[in-house]
Amino acid sequence: MGSMALVRHPDRNTRNDRNGNESRLEHPLLEICLTSSKGLGLFAKQDIKRGTRILSERPLIVLPSEDVADYSSLKQRLDDLTTVELALFYDLGDNKDLIDDEVRSRIHQVALVSGKFRKRPDGLEIFIKTGAKAHTVFKTNATSMGRDRGYGIFPLYSRINHSCRPNVHASYNPSLGTHTVHAIREVQAGEELLVSYIDCAQPTQKRTEDLEKHGVDCWCEVCKRSSAAKQSERRRHLIFDLKRGLSAYVGDHVKGRRTPDRLIPHNPTEAVTAAENLVQLLCEDCLEGMDLAFAYRIASKYSLQLGMVEKTKAYAVKEAEVELYCLGTETGYLKDGNAEAWLKRIQWTAERDAVKIRMCEKRGVKEAKKADKKADKKAKKGAR
Ligand SMILES: C[S@@+](CC[C@H](N)C(=O)[O-])C[C@H]1O[C@@H](n2cnc3c(N)ncnc32)[C@H](O)[C@@H]1O
């Protein structure tokens, strides 16, 4: 990758700020370049270390989840943008596979309801064309900001293409109010940044179905039918099953999917073994994102139940490492508590257990003294 001749895109490396001032995209680490088959992409200008926060971007617009198919809501948000921001929006990629007649007819409806085109029917066609373009740009680039927060457009992040073996992790951070992107591996100068648009720890067929919704016919290194890809496919089947089984075991069932009993561990010992297998498979397949943090947490949680204190701590430390390079330090918002909170809880549990043991020991000494006294008394009586 590093030696590939990159075509830097001069126009797309120009950005505009909220006040309309044009400025070069002088990002120290990134540049937008043309790829051979995926349109534009975002590339590293220099070597990037694992854990580096590459981007922290605020949304240009946000739509609630229930409004993503509603053109009038999108239009309202676009009407609020400045000319420069609007240009930034319309400059983004628009995947024509993501527009259909239903969308066009909904835009037509919005036009009819507005009543604007009764006297100027020629404007109607332009309105529908512009609407279709806006809708396609939104659908191509909208990024989930998490449950209840809707979908946002992040202009620079939008240039990152998909891979089923990503080298960056991206997620919305509600504590910061930004979408963050972190390197989850060392990235070399000239290498393309690649994120996963879907849950990529799945077999090819499921990934293909999910990617279709993004208009992506993926031809990444994992989807190519090479011998290495075959190995990966075997691992992804196992990873998928282990994740399902463990999620069901911790009570986090995948919506709409029943997990077969054979996949679900029956006790903490089996859960630890399954989590350890998951860690190994994820590492072998270079999937070192938040799935790995999940596997470490389960391994730590059930090691604790089994009283394996050293393993509990070691896995918790590993989880914290992964969480740090995927998300950074501002992770107080995480649903299951962040790794730091889990480490504190383990510390607290270890201290509580130590106190319990000391109390039992003290009680044991007292009981033993009592028994000794009783025996002495009996012995004295017998001697008389
Ligand atoms: C968010 S945009 C990514 C940036 C886009 N390439 C551009 O030129 O602005 C998503 C679109 O990029 C293309 N794309 C992204 N990843 C791809 C992949 N792995 N294979 C093929 N096309 C891809 C698809 O057209 C997809 O709808």
In this structure, is the dihedral angle defined by the CA atoms of residues 181, 185, 188 and 192, taken in order, positive or negative? negative
Which atom of ligand 1 sits closest to the CA of residue 140?
27
For residue 159, which atom of ligand 1 is closest to its CA? Answer: 4
Ligand 1 atom, smallest distance to 35 CA = 6
Residue ID of nearest Cα to ligand 1 atom 10: 140
Evaluate whether 342 touches 319 at the Cβ level (below 8 Å): yes
Q: Which residue's alpha carbon is at the smallest distance from atom 23 of ligand 1? A: 38
Query: How many whole angstroms from 20 Cα to the centroid of ligand 1?
Result: 27
For the stretch 332-379, pLDDT in tens is 888 778 898 898 888 887 777 767 777 777 788 788 788 888 877 887
Interface confidence, given as ipTM, is 0.99
Q: Name residue 272's amino acid.
A: V
Residue 353, both tokens: 């257990």
Give distance in angstroms: CA of 128 to centre of ligand 1.
24
CA distances from 38 to 35, 42, 93, 192 (A): 6, 11, 10, 11
Atom of ligand 1 nearest to the CA of 141: 1
Ligand 1 midpoint to CA 100 (Å) = 18
Which ligand 1 atom minimizes the distance to the CA of 163? 19
In this prediction, residue 97 carries a pLDDT of: 86
Mutate to test the pocket of ligand 1, among 31, 160, 161 (most ligand atoms within 8 A of CB): 161
Protein residue closest via CA to atom 15 of ligand 1? 161
Hey, what amino acid is at 362? K
Q: Are strands 161-162 and 194-195 parallel, antiparallel or unpaired?
A: parallel
Where does ligand 1 bind, in terms of residues with CB under 6 Å?
A: 38-41, 92-93, 95, 140-141, 158-159, 161-163, 214-220
Regions of the chain where pLDDT drops below 50: 1-4, 17-24
Q: How far apart are CA 278 and CA 246, in angstroms?
A: 10
Distance (angstroms) between ligand 1 centre and the Cα of 161 equals 5
- Is residue 6 packed enough to be buried (19+ CB in 10 Å), middle (13-18) or exposed (0-12)? middle
Quote the pLDDT of residue 9.
62
Distance 150 CA to ligand 1 centre (A): 21
AA letter at 180: T
What's the length of the chain? 384
Please answer whether residues 289 and 297 qualify as being in contact, where contact means their C-beta atoms are separated by less than 8 angstroms. Answer: no
Q: Give the atom of ligand 1 at the shortest distance from the alpha carbon of 220.
A: 19
Q: Which atom of ligand 1 is nearest to the CA of 215?
A: 27
Closest-CA residue, ligand 1 atom 25, reads 95
Pairing, β 30-34 against β 40-44? antiparallel
Structural domains for the chain: 7-51+163-195 (2.170.270.10), 61-153 (no CATH), 225-344 (no CATH)
Task: Out of 8, 9, 34, 38, give the residue to mutate to test ligand 1, the one with the largest number of ligand atoms within 8 Å of its CB.
Answer: 38
